[in-house]
Amino acid sequence: MKFDDFLHTVNDFGRYQKLRYFCICLTYMLPPVMVYTWSFAAATPSFRCKLYENDTVYDNHVPLFYNRSQPDESYCKVNMKISIKECHRCYMKTISTNVYTISRFILACSTRGIAVTGFVLATELVGPKSKFLTAIIVQYFFAFGQLFLNTTDKPLEVGVLALFQSKIMCIISINLFFQWFVQNLVFYGISQISFTISACVEILSYIVLHLLLNRIGRKRPYFIAVFCFAIIALLTISA
């Protein structure tokens, strides 16, 4: 007996499958939050790196000073009071690279791992008749995760008038306002409102696929979507 036949015998989409499917859908809201949260919560450092007047001289002197202060194996063997292991601690490398690699691995498991494995579990948990339904509904929660990220913004504690309290702050604010306007208009073209609209459009597309995919197949909706995208892309080209 095949597994699909077994599910059809016990129940294609019973209470147990619904409970597990709901839990999978809740975890499906995490990937968009973790992927797009950098766009909203990127930290601004409280310092600015100082640039030296002559970078070439600085680069040439750093290896020289490093070689004078770095203990090597011969020095450790001459000075028998400390071991080579303790001597090497003077120039141990930072673990930031290892922490970054491990964090990237955890991020991949939390995004692609949840998205791919969650989709497979959601579709294989039910019988053949309910696979299409579960495959579409789980995408709703992905789009809802984007909307949830957009609604978690906290109000500003400092008012707008604080930007114009001093002369220097006023000049910096006007300069930043102009740069923001030009960059968003010319380069980015994406704001918080457009991000919300894109999430809503994604939800509507899933609803349309949910209603039409089993009735008219995949070729016609795909052709219509690509054709409409081509027309809109041509309309956005400036004259």
What pLDDT does 77 receive?
57
Please say whether the beta carbons of 16 and 126 come within 8 A: no
Q: Cα(210)–Cα(137) distance, rounded to whole angstroms?
A: 8
Residue type, 44: T
Residue 239 has pLDDT above 50, yes or no: no
The span from the CA of 90 to the CA of 68, in Å, is 13
Q: Is the pLDDT of residue 47 over 50?
A: yes
What value does the mean pLDDT take over residues 163-179?
85
For the stretch 115-152, pLDDT in tens is 888 888 888 888 878 888 888 888 888 888 888 877 65
Mean pLDDT over 46-63 rounds to 55
DSSP H/E element including 137? helix 131-150
| CA–CA separation, 222 and 99 (whole Å) | 43
For the cut 80, the answer to whether the pLDDT of residue 159 exceeds it is no
Question: How far apart are the C-alpha atoms of 26 and 171, rounded to whole Å?
Answer: 47
